Amino acid sequence: MLRQVNVGVKALADYHSIVARDLLVEIRELAASLEGLRVCHVNATSFGGGVAEILYSLVPLMNDVGLKADWRVMFGREEFFNVTKAMHNALQGAPRGITPDEQRIFERYNLVNAGGLDGDYDVVIIHDPQPIGIRGNTSGLDTAKWVWRCHIDLSDPNPQVLEYLRPMMAGYDAAVFHMAQYVPQGTIPPAVIMPPAIDPLTPKNMALSAEDAAYIVHQFGLDIDRPLMLQVSRFDPWKDPLGVIDAYRIVAERVPGVQLALVGSMATDDPEGWEFYNRTVDHADGDPNIYILSNLNNVGGIEVNAFQTQAVAVIQKSLREGFGLTVTESLWKARPTIGGNTGGIPLQISDGVTGYLVDSSAACAQRMLDIIDDPGGAHEMARRGKEHVRAEFLTPRLLRDWLRLFSDLVGA
């Protein structure tokens, strides 16, 4: 049986002072027609990365409004996650495909996990490629509606891997993508556009005083009186932490006291993460002003919040990015934000209006210097970014979008 995740409880009423009243009213109306709907989310890991963070808020909110929602995590060993990491990279444009042996590993684990998906559900939501083959291997749940939720940038996929997965996609009743640009050409299920969102009431995103943030950051050895550059993301070549270090070195020539923190999370479905973590440490070359931290250093949600609150600017210099929830988080905290001009980041950052978009380490460094030189203008830009997130990228809006899709699927 797939492991069930305990998500605790949340209440939609707690968002009353944060989001528009009309949105909450619409959610209640949609939920009333779906009361008792049985929903199951399936993904690859219960910690590390944006999908798990979304589900820890979304699933209990679905239950709060009257649905019966579960979250299940599939079983996999390192050999499986090595394959799915290669698959993930390929879908974001890497030239390496997957071999016949890797395909057999992928199919074997999906077959095993399909046998462990028990329960009587009306809707099953499969997140990302790792469990996509479960649908074609289930002997039950024939009356359920199946949704594939893709969190990856598919704008320029490796064609070999996309074509390998296409027959598996075909078994779904709908496929959900962050942006229209990610919908692959050719035959797939009906596509739905649904950007992700952050929960403003989690420890990572709740209001944190400047004093508390400074106290927490100081515990990790940083000097809170000197400027801090920050990137929060997995240790992944697509996140370009090496390029962030290069940008920091350019800034340090002008601002000798500047510090850089690279804060990541090691996830069970990302065996490549350790290799790239070590590459990042090597690239830092022992610089005492570069701090490389992760959940293995006791960096959790509240610590990430503190770093984002304390930073002069938050960077997400991605080379490819499905959406970039760390951008959403820093904008929500009204921090000046510099993002890679790729994927879902431009959906959040309007260059020069709600943040800065960059295409190189040199450009990233220059925008960092602009922020340091004009803190008043940077603060005003960050304030606009926060209001953009409030309107578009908070969890109640995501809940509303899922309820709309459920209504369409089951004819409520």
In the 8-state DSSP scheme, what is residue 394? B
Q: Where are the beta strands (DSSP E) in 218-293?
A: 228-232, 259-263, 290-293
Please name which of 387, 378, 393, 204 lies closest in space to residue 307, comparing C-alpha atoms. 204
CATH node for 210-392: 3.40.50.2000
Beta-carbon contacts of 126 under 8 Å, excluding residues fewer than 6 positions away, are: 42, 43, 132, 134, 135, 146, 147, 148, 149, 172
Under CATH, what is the fold of the domain 3-197+394-410? Rossmann fold (3.40.50)
Centre a 10 Å sphere on the Cβ of residue 191 and count the other Cβ atoms it contains. 15
Axis-axis angle for helices 301-310, 325-332 (nearest 10): 60
The HSE-up count of residue 72 (CA atoms within 13 Å, CB side) is 23
- pLDDT in the model for residue 401: 98
How far apart, in whole angstroms, are the C-alpha atoms of residue 158 and residue 302?
37
Using a 10 angstrom Cβ sphere, with 0-12 exposed, 13-18 middle and 19 or more buried, the burial of residue 273 is: buried
How far apart, in whole angstroms, are the C-alpha atoms of residue 168 and residue 88?
15
Q: State whether residue 146 is helix, strand or coil.
A: strand
Taking only the tens of pLDDT, the chain with its 412 residues reads: 799 999 999 999 999 999 999 999 999 999 999 999 999 999 999 887 789 999 999 999 999 999 999 999 999 999 999 999 999 999 989 999 999 999 999 999 999 999 999 889 999 999 999 999 999 999 778 899 999 999 999 999 999 999 999 999 999 999 999 999 999 988 789 999 999 999 999 999 999 999 999 999 999 999 999 999 999 998 989 999 999 999 999 999 999 999 999 998 776 556 677 788 999 999 999 999 999 998 778 899 999 999 999 999 999 999 989 899 999 999 999 999 999 999 999 999 999 999 999 999 999 999 999 999 999 999 999 999 999 999 999 999 999 999 999 999 998 6
Say if CB 348 and CB 331 are below 8 A apart: yes
How far apart, in whole angstroms, are the C-alpha atoms of residue 25 and residue 37?
19
- pLDDT in the model for residue 146: 97
Same fold, 3-197+394-410 and 210-392: yes
Nearest 5 degrees, angle CA 84-CA 135-CA 6? 75
3 phi/psi in degrees, rounded to 5: -65, 130
What are the extents of the domains in the chain?
3-197+394-410, 210-392
pTM for the whole thing?
Answer: 0.91
Question: What own/partner pairs with CB < 8 Å and gap ≥ 24 does 369-377 have?
Answer: 369/251, 369/254, 369/255, 371/312, 371/313, 371/336, 371/338, 372/227, 372/251, 372/255, 372/312, 372/313
Burial 17-42 (b: 16+ CB within 10 A, else e): eebeeebbebbeebbeebeebebbbb
**290-293 sheet: strands from edge to edge:** 290-293, 259-263, 228-232, 313-316, 337-340, 356-358
Say if CB 288 and CB 256 are below 8 A apart: no
How far apart, in whole angstroms, are the C-alpha atoms of residue 231 and residue 358?
14
Q: State whether residue 385 is helix, strand or coil.
A: helix
- pLDDT in the model for residue 49: 76
> Pairing state of beta strands 68-73 and 3-4?
antiparallel
- pLDDT in the model for residue 231: 98
Q: Name the β-bridge partners of 292.
A: 262
Q: State whether residue 92 is helix, strand or coil.
A: coil
- pLDDT in the model for residue 170: 92
Say if CB 336 and CB 312 are below 8 A apart: yes
- Written as one letter, the residue type at 195 is P
